[in-house]
Structures are given as C-alpha cells and as structure tokens.
Amino acid sequence: MKIASILQGDYRLATRAGSEQSDYLGVYAGDLLSVVMKSARPQNVLVTVMANLTAVAVASLIDLPAIVFCEGCKATPEMIVRADREGIVLIETTYKAVDVIVDFARRGLL
Amino acid sequence: MITVDKRYDIIPNDFNFAGRASSDIKRTLKSMHFSREFIKRVSVAAYEAEINIVIHSRGGKAAFKISDDTLYLEFADIGPGIPDIQLAMTPGYSTASDESRLNGFGAGMGFSNILKSVDKMDILSDPNGTVLKLKFDIAEADRDEDR
C-alpha cells in the first residue's frame, strides 16, 4: 500500500512532498521504543506519541518507512531533516493512537 | 580473515547523536548484502547496547568486527558500572532517568532484546566501567540478500 493513501482528513505530511509515494506493509502502534524494535516488522508504519529523534533513528534502523505522530505531537525541524535524509515519511495527526488504528481499519489501510 | 573492523565513540546523554554507531553498522551490513533478518538482529542489539551507554554511562566506545563466519560487537564504557548485573537483566527493571523515558527508552527491555538477538553475550562490570561483548554466528543464509 502507498503511504499517500493515509493522507486524508486529519493527517498532515511533515516531511518533503513526494516522500509519501513509498510503500508500507502493515501498522504497529507503540511508544516504548525497545518494544517497537522487538515487535514491529519491516515496512510497518509506526503509530506513536514519541515525537523525537530516537523514534526516527529506530524507524531507520528496523526499516519502518513512515511514522504517524498522534495526539497532536509535532515533528521538529531536526527530525524532519533526519527523516528526509533517511527516507522516512513523518505524518502528524490529532487522533489518538486507537483512533488512528480504527480509522485505518475502516479505510482498509491495515 | 577480517573483513570489517570499525570503532565508534558514544557520547553520554546525547540523544541527538545516539544511534550513529548502530546506523553505520546497519549500513555496512546492508552494503555487504546480509539478509534483512540478520541485519535486524545485529541492529537491534547494537542500538540497545549503544543506548545503554548513552543513558547510563559517562561515555564509551563501540567496536564492530567481522572475522570469517562471526560478527563481533564490543561496547565499553567508563563507568559507573552495573551494581547488580542479574537484576539489570530482569525484563522491566530500569534505573533510567526521566529524560531517557521521554525519549522512549528506560523500560527495562534493553538486555532482554539483546539476549534475544545474539548467539553469545558476555558482560563484565565494575565501578570503572562495563564491557559488553556480543557475538553473532553468520550462517550461509544470512549472506544472500539482494544478490
């Protein structure tokens, strides 16, 4: 599935335009990055409130192509620069993690 | 035969720099066409060990070596050491700071993730520092990705 298909309604692309054309396979939601590293599978989109550089580093390390920062958490300029460099898509939403999952399920994005 | 031999500095309490060693290790393995599963095992163990030094130590170094069919990682810091290694290995046990937790770590899963990833782990610790040695056996199936 294309990451671009996530970007409807309350989802804002934070990284450079065009980055959303890459693909993903499944979704993993979690905030403890050690648990994310253990359980997320390559190509999963990560849904988290952990809006910091370590989340971007973890995504890069275990091949997660995109992160959805929920509950209004914002990507900082440093995070955006690093994500663009590593080819990771950052998306912001005001939804809670559970609402993102429900929304994805409704739209057939899981 | 030694095919890789690299060294890295690890800076304490610097979450912006954290992960540079692990990222380079991952890039190196990818460029050598190791399998995705093998790269993930090594990367996760490397990152957890690197983050442990960032969170808990006064700084340290990492070494990454591949010799024949074995990959070695060594993480050495300059203290203050782990008072009770058995306790530190217990999943969920952590002495991490609030800043570490805000960065998504300090849940007490680090050693648990490392142990699940490696073929052998040795650890020595005293107040002058901790040395963590990780060993990964390289099977034929680990080498064939994207060839």
The enclosing domain of B48 has a CATH number of 3.30.565.10
Measured between beta carbons, the chain B residues lying within 8 angstroms of A54 are 15, 18-19, 51, 103-105
Q: Do residues B98 and B108 make contact, with C-beta atoms less than 8 angstroms apart?
A: no
Output the pLDDT for position B15: 86
What is the domain count for chain B? 1
Sequence-distant (6+) residues with CB within 8 A of B116 are A38
Which of B23, B40, B112 is the closest to A57 by Cβ? B23
* In chain A, domain spans: 3-106
B26–A61 CB contact, under 8 Å: yes
Domain holding B76, by residue range, is 2-143
Q: Does A23 touch chain B (CB under 8 A)?
A: no
Residues linked to residue B131 through DSSP beta bridges, in sequence order: B76, B124
B102, B103, B113: residue with CB nearest A38: B113
Cβ pair A100, A68 in contact under 8 A: yes
Mutate which: B24, B27, B37, B47, vs A, most A CBs within 10 A: B47
Mean pLDDT of A66-76: 97
Alpha carbon distances (Å) from A71 to A7, A11, A36, A68, B74: 16, 11, 18, 10, 39
Chain A: residue nearest B116 by CA? A38
Per-residue pLDDT of chain B (147 residues; tens, 9 = 90+): 889 999 999 999 998 889 999 999 999 999 999 999 999 999 999 999 999 999 999 999 999 999 999 999 999 999 999 999 999 999 889 888 888 888 888 888 899 999 999 999 999 999 999 999 999 999 999 986 555
What is the assigned CATH class of domain A3-106?
alpha beta
Is B104 close to A58, i.e. CB distance below 8 A? yes
